[in-house]
Structure 1
């Protein structure tokens, strides 16, 4: 079970975007990276291709960020928080915030 999943709200805790919040767009488990919206935005200079109808220019796009630089956003404390995994009474696993022991998913 992954501690951070697609669709989670996260806080950046290290790097040039430290302190910013965003939603996880995509998870790359083999690289241990996450794509977070409006975080780690870089500019790419793209050459146009008139045969395929692609315009050239400077394009801004998000790049993946390592999962160690991200913490899950806890709405109760309004901060980034560490996450643990707990086995519930029915045998299923659930994520919980370590600061206040509340379940992440409900």
Structure 2
């Protein structure tokens, strides 16, 4: 079970986008990276092709960012926090906030 999942709100803790928050769009588990909405933009130069007439020139796209550079934002305390795990009475494993001990 990963500490960060698709759809979570995360905060960037290091790098050029430090302090920004965004929603996780895609996880790359084998690379240990995630694509976060509105974070880690790079400019790509795209050449015109017969299939793509519209998206040419300099295009900004989101690049993956290391999971170690992200912290999950707790919904109840609205702060970047460490993630812990807890096993409930019905034997299900849930993620918890280390600051407020609430289930995420």
The two structures have a TM-score, normalised by structure 1, of 0.92
Aligned to 1:54: 53
The two structures have a TM-score, normalised by structure 2, of 0.94
- Give the 3 Å change call, closer, same or farther, for CA 74–91 of structure 1 in structure 2: same
Question: Which structure 1 residue ranges, 5 or more long, are not aligned?
Answer: none
Question: C-alpha root-mean-square deviation of aligned residues, in Å?
Answer: 1.0
Question: Which structure 2 residue ranges, 5 or more long, are not aligned?
Answer: none
Q: Distance in 1 between matches of 2:82 and 2:52?
A: 46
Q: Which runs of 4+ in 1 moved over 4 A?
A: none
**Partners of 2:10 and 2:70 within 8 A in 1:** yes
The Cα shift of 1:76 comes to 3.0
The Cα shift of 1:61 comes to 0.4
The Cα shift of 1:79 comes to 1.6
Equivalences, count: 103
**Partners of 2:24 and 2:36 within 8 A in 1:** yes
Map Cα deviations across residues 72-94 of structure 1 (whole Å, 9 max, x no partner).
Answer: 01233322000011111100100
Aligned to 2:22: 22
